[in-house]
Homo-oligomer: A and B are copies of this chain.
Amino acid sequence: MTATIVKGQPVANIIQEELAAKVKTLQAKGINPKLAVVLAGGNEASKVYANSKKKVADKMGIQFELTTKPDDVTTEELLALLDKLNADPSVHGILVELPLPKGVAKEPVMNRINPKKDVDGVNPINRGYLLGGQEKLAIVPATPMSCIELIQRSGVNLKGALVALLGRGDTVGRPLASLLLNRDATVTMCHTKTKDVASITKKAEIVVAAAGSAAFVKPEMLSPGQFVVDVGINAKPDGSGICGDVDPAAAEVVGSLTPVPGGVGSLTTTIIMGNLLKAIEIQGLG
């Protein structure tokens, strides 16, 4: 194996230390950062994610408030809950775990979160700031920001770097393209309709795979020295766990590779906490 395996947890630990120091500064001013998480329905993965947020919040001295709702919660009930959390001055950040139960409409729920408390950047206003080149005003979705942190904190310079980005979803691909552009990367956005993806990935310096397709990126699509970020979370065909969008054999070819699990996914919860502190700033506190 030639590649450096770039794990998420060491980067998460460094960021958590930075954030914990900021939390202390806020507390000294009488501000107690508080994250409210809404868990609607019995999705098992969502429960795990919510619990992992509580753990990181506890570790960093951030208050955590979980509200659970049953599977048969209505859109109206969730909107009313969000109105309450939006209006509560003790709550600085709000995150609604996805997916929502079948009977609930996602759009109105995402759109109802106060943009200034929207710690996963799902409200169109935050997305608009990001698209419009106003990243400073935006709270940025956690997964694409995790990719940026993994790349930059590994010492890779994005300025002028040629990036092949696989996937154009609204959760990762599109916001990540904006984040990369804002850092002066040259970005090619590829997707299911792209002809000859390999000709694009082979020439890139950085490859980000957010295609949502198990082991889609094969070693022969890659080149020596590349930095490869694997954002995929796919069920293994044999049901034995999760795997990424990049064939692990890619490690024989490229320079650096983020693993799945243990790569990007180990960072997102920490980024949410960073977003909470940015939200406090945007709210004019702190």
Contact = CB atoms under 8 A, between A and B. Distances in A.
A188 B188 contact: yes
Interface stretch (A18-26, A32-40, A52-60, A168-176): A168-176
B186 A194 contact: yes
Interface in A168-211: 168-170, 174-175, 177-178, 181, 184, 186-191, 193-195, 200
Interface residues of A, number: 35
Interface of A: 107, 123-134, 159-160, 162, 168-170, 174-175, 177-178, 181, 184, 186-191, 193-195, 200
A116 to B, nearest CB: 13
A197 to B, nearest CB: 9
Report how many copies the assembly holds: 2
A118 to B, nearest CB: 11
Contacts of A190: 186
A132 B195 contact: no
Contact of A175 (B131, B160, B188): B131
A175 to B, nearest CB: 7
Main secondary structure, interface of A, reads mixed
A129 B107 CA distance: 11
Nearest to A124: B128
A184 B178 contact: no
Contacts of A174: 131-133, 178, 181
A187 B166 CA distance: 11
Contacts of A187: 188-189
A78 to B, nearest CB: 19
A7 to B, nearest CB: 29
Contacts of A127: 127-129, 131-132
Contacts of A184: 191, 193
Contacts of A125: 124-125, 128
Contacts of A107: 134
Contacts of A168: 133, 181
B181 A191 contact: yes
Nearest to A193: B184
B200 A170 contact: no
Contact of A170 (B131, B162, B186): B131
Contacts of A162: 195
A190 B160 CA distance: 9
Nearest to A199: B203
